[in-house]
Structure 1
Amino acid sequence: MENMLSSAPLPSSLPDRFILLPDQRPPASSVAVSLPVIDLSRGRDEVRRAVLDAGRELGFFQVINHGVSQQTMREMEEVCEEFFRLPAADKTALYSEDRFKRNRLFSGTIYGDRYWRDCLRLACAFPVGDTKNDWPDKPQSLREVIEKFIMPTRGVAMELLRLLSEGMGLRPDYFEGDLSGGDVVIHVNHYPPCPDPSLTLGLPPHCDRNLITLLLPGTVNGLQVVYKGEWINVDPVPNSFIVNFGRQLEIITNGMLKSIEHRAVANSALARTSVAAFIMPAADSLIGPAEEFVSKDNPPRYRPAIFGEFIR
């Protein structure tokens, strides 16, 4: 628990253990590219084309008019920020460095180095049922708010997968069942103000390992995405979700859709809290390129693997 940034006074200078090598530090981005913004209330044919085009071009996009109420999104942001303001004594029992523990609080040591982040990880089964009893009981409204948020958020993800399926010539329910039947894993990422953001990162460059991710980005910018070999800053649209594809979607489509590297930068003045909802396949799912994307001219680029083994 002593590693938790949010439970310690802000240092006047960046501790040495957080300083990255020069070639790993975040250079200034000069690329001006905006993520596509897709209005899910438009006609289905238009939305289907937009989702597929954005996925092929950037692997990241934003969705608005998605059906999750603004109140639900704001309540989720507020309760997550409130959680990280709790006294350390109220969070100690949650802290764990066991990567395979379903629900835990941890610091930015997960990648073997030190990154300027604290994270609350929660596993959400569907239906939620008794699994919420394993979530923190403080703040008092946390369990209720997360359940209220995650149900429609998962619904948005499943609708996007249906749109992708239709656009790629698959049956609309292709991704239902085991391919999306695992937990929805929530990462509440908290990035406290950093003494020197030029020397460290909140999250290192990485690709998500799941199927599809919806991010509630919060009000402070910090997400960067690779585009044509350079890092671009993401400027979220109000009341939007940022969507990106995980490795499993890349594998299933045999590389037609890409899982794109992204990272989080720190901020010297403001704390940032974001919420990522990861749609996961069932642990025993065998995932490989779908036969619809394999041919003599386009052989399999990935070997099939059990998802649980892939994660391990």
Structure 2
Amino acid sequence: MDVIVGSESHLEQMEKLVSSWYKDGTLPESFIWPPDSRPGKLAAAPSCKNIPVIDLGGAEGGDHTYIIHQILEASQEFGFFQVINHGISDTLLSDTMSVLKEFFELPLEDKASVYSEDPQKSCKLFSSSVNYDAEDVHLWRDVLRHPCHPLVECLQDWPQQPSRYRELVGTCSTQVKKLALNVLELISEGLGLGTGYFRNELSQNLILSVNHYPPCPDPSLTLGLTKHCDPNLITILMQEDHVNGLQVFKDGEWMGVEPISHALVVNIGYQLHIISNGKLKSSEHRAVTNPCNARTSAGFFVAPSYVCVVEPARALVSASNPQLYKSFQYEEFLRNFNTMVFEGKSEFAMESFKLQT
């Protein structure tokens, strides 16, 4: 395939993928972050044993109230927790991760139909970000991103190779969405919002973003993903076993989120922080690279529809607990968030949506 796009052929554009050249052992200057941004020795920060691991196995029984308490406590203190006995089979998780890794190992020619630098294309493979050519410094990652809902419509645009990609990712995304809604139901109950609060436009969209981080010659100088909070409602993340990389910022320090076999990481996004009127925490996190092993992670982002109006839940606003954020359409928030990220100001993404109290 040799389609001309501007002054570059399609395959020449694909040579931007880190996975296409990393084996030559070089670290191009365009991937070296400024001293105040690079992880340095913290790229090898030890995993934190304190990030909560919540067993959802008893959520339907006598442990229901206790599990809600654990989820709220973790969401308030960390903004992150891991779940086990979540209802998704170990086999499906392992097979899905295997097919995702297999995709990135395909020859460039087999990935050419998916590669795109068009921000409007819904299913695309790209390197670093969709703004690659405008970036001062690049991320050490390749990304495959596509919507998962409505499934029947979306999967027609998904990769056709590996052969089981659509089957496995489709099944997994359906079960992950079910899990996310179950967790949101527990959060809703814990916040006193009743049942079904999030089962509407607030959780309509599901986007899969698969990040592939090849081995890096010097992880202290590079980043797989810069520090940020997720703009969506809630994120369910699949991590590879035994390969560290995800770090969360807490109490002024970066701490590693230890991969637990077949556990899933749950991350509170900005929209859930806003709906809870600031009660639940959205924590900054990042991904660092590894000198020896490639790492692949799959984030399922549950988000409102673009025209959905988001605001603090009225039941959580009172004279003693005034409203902290204004009402807005999610599309407006997302547009502002993407601009802030591109400008390297992601920490200010919430500022224009705060109410002065």
Do they fold alike, i.e. is TM over 0.5?
yes
Whether the aligned pair in 2 keeps the contact of 1:210 and 1:247 (CA below 8 Å) is yes
1:151-230 equivalence runs, <5 A:
151-182=174-205, 184-219=206-241, 220-230=243-253
Per-residue deviation, residues 196-222 of structure 1 (Å, max 9, x unmatched): 101011000011011000000112110
Aligned length: 310
Corresponding letter in the other structure for 1:123: P
**Relative to 1, partners in 2 of residues 1:133 and 1:30: Cα closer, same or farther, differing over 3 Å?**
closer
Helix, strand or coil at the partner of 2:182: helix
State the alpha-carbon separation in 2 of the partners of residues 31 and 125 from structure 1. 34
- CA-CA distance at 1:98 after TM superposition: 2.7
Please identify, of 3-12 and 43-52, the stretch whose mean Cα deviation from structure 2 is larger.
3-12
Paired position in structure 2 for 1:76: 96
Q: Which residue of 1 aligns with 2:78?
A: 58
Distance 1:203 1:106, change over 3 A: same
Give, as a single letter, the amino acid of the residue that structure 1 aligns with 2:277.
Answer: N
Give the deviation of 1:96 after TM superposition.
Answer: 1.8
Whether the aligned pair in 2 keeps the contact of 1:251 and 1:289 (CA below 8 Å) is yes
Q: 1:30 to 1:270 in 2, by over 3 A?
A: closer
Q: How does 1:236-275 map to 2 (within 5 A)?
A: 236-275=259-298
TM-score (norm 2): 0.84
What does residue range 30-109 of structure 1 map to in structure 2 within 5 Å?
Answer: 32-42=48-58, 43-109=63-129
Q: Secondary structure, in 3 states, of the residue corresponding to 1:213?
A: strand
* Structure 1: gaps (5+ residues): none
Distance 1:255 1:123, change over 3 A: same
In structure 2, give the amino acid aligned to 1:54: A
Native 8 Å contact 1:34 1:234 kept in 2: no
Q: Which has the higher contact order (CA 8 A, sep 6+)?
A: 1
Q: Normalising by structure 1, report the TM-score.
A: 0.96
Deviations 1:214-255 (A, max 9, x none): 000112110000111110011122110000111110111111
Partner of 1:15: 28
Deviation at 1:9, TM superposition (A): 4.4
Find the aligned partners of 2:22 and 2:236 in 1 and give their Cα distance.
32
CA contact (8 A) 1:11 1:195 kept: no
Displacement, 1:12?
2.3
Task: Give me the CA root mean square deviation.
Answer: 1.4
Are 1:116 and 2:143 an aligned pair? no
CA contact (8 A) 1:286 1:307 kept: yes
8 Å CA contact retained: 2:234, 2:301: yes
Tell me how far 1:97 sits from its aligned partner.
2.2
